[in-house]
Amino acid sequence: MSLPHAILTALLERPSSGLELTRRFDKSIGYFWSATHQQIYRELGKLEAEGHIRALPSEQPTRGQKKSYEVLPAGRAELARWTAASQDPKPHRDTLLLRLRAAAVVGTEGIEADLRHHLALHRRQLAEYEEIEQRDFPPGKGGPQDRLRHLVLRAGIDLETFWTQWLTHALEEFTELPDRDPA
């Protein structure tokens, strides 16, 4: 139950239409909570029905017409409640690690190429994060809000750093593996 709260956060940062939200989820928020436009429209409908947000009255709501939303006090209260409440971390699922485990049983065919593919993607993401850090968080300034946001970005950078290092190490192991590609 996090998507509505992700949307509330985004709308508090700036009132937006469904498609604008989708675009913002493709960038900053989507780095740790992705969503498609179908999910977002569905959720906007629910949030409006619950009285947590409302459409800006300026535009009339016909299909194909842009419709922007803003957060109502009830929505802000719900977000504050959710943010303050303790939550157990969800177990994480990782297909690549699962495939490695499977490969230990049925063979490593095809894995090495995919490790390289993942490595390239993580390297690119890391570069993107570091660019954002240099642009948005110059050293030695920024209020408490900036420090929180920087902390989140830092997690992204460190995570991508971990993956690039681990994948590099994994590829080294692979090239040393005696019986790969028994052609």
Partner DNA sequence: CCAAACATGTAACGGGTTACATGATTAC
Partner DNA sequence: GTAATCATGTAACCCGTTACATGTTTGG
SS3 57: coil
Q: Out of a second copy, DNA, none, which partner does residue 41 contact, by CB within 5 to 8 A per kind? A: DNA
2-61 binders of a second copy (CB under 8 A): 2, 5-6, 8-9, 12-13, 29-30, 32-34
Distance CA 94, CA 89 (A): 15
Phi, psi of 74, deg, nearest 5: -60, -35
Residues numbered 118 to 177 that lie near DNA (CB under 7 A) are: none
* Residues 88-107 within binding reach of a second copy (CB under 8 A): 89-107
Residues 6+ apart with CB under 8 A from 15: 56, 68, 69, 70, 71
How many Cα atoms sit within 13 Å of 61 on the Cβ side?
Answer: 9
What is the size of the binding site for DNA (CB under 7 A)?
A: 29
Element (H, E) at 134: helix 111-136
Of positions 5, 8, 17, 129, contacts DNA by CB under 7 A:
17
As separate numbers, helices (DSSP H) first and strands (DSSP E) second, the chain gives: 7, 3
**DSSP at 25:** H
Q: Least distance (Å) from a second copy to the CB of residue 142?
A: 11
103 binds, among DNA, a second copy, none (CB under 5 to 8 A by kind): a second copy
Question: Which residues of this protein are in contact with DNA, per CB under 7 A?
Answer: 1-4, 17-20, 34-39, 41-42, 44-45, 61-68, 90-91, 93
Question: Which residues of this protein are in contact with a second copy, per CB under 8 A?
Answer: 2, 5-6, 8-9, 12-13, 29-30, 32-34, 76, 79-80, 82-87, 89-111, 113-114, 117-118, 121, 144-145, 147-149, 151-152, 154-156, 158-159, 162, 165-166, 169-170, 173, 177-179
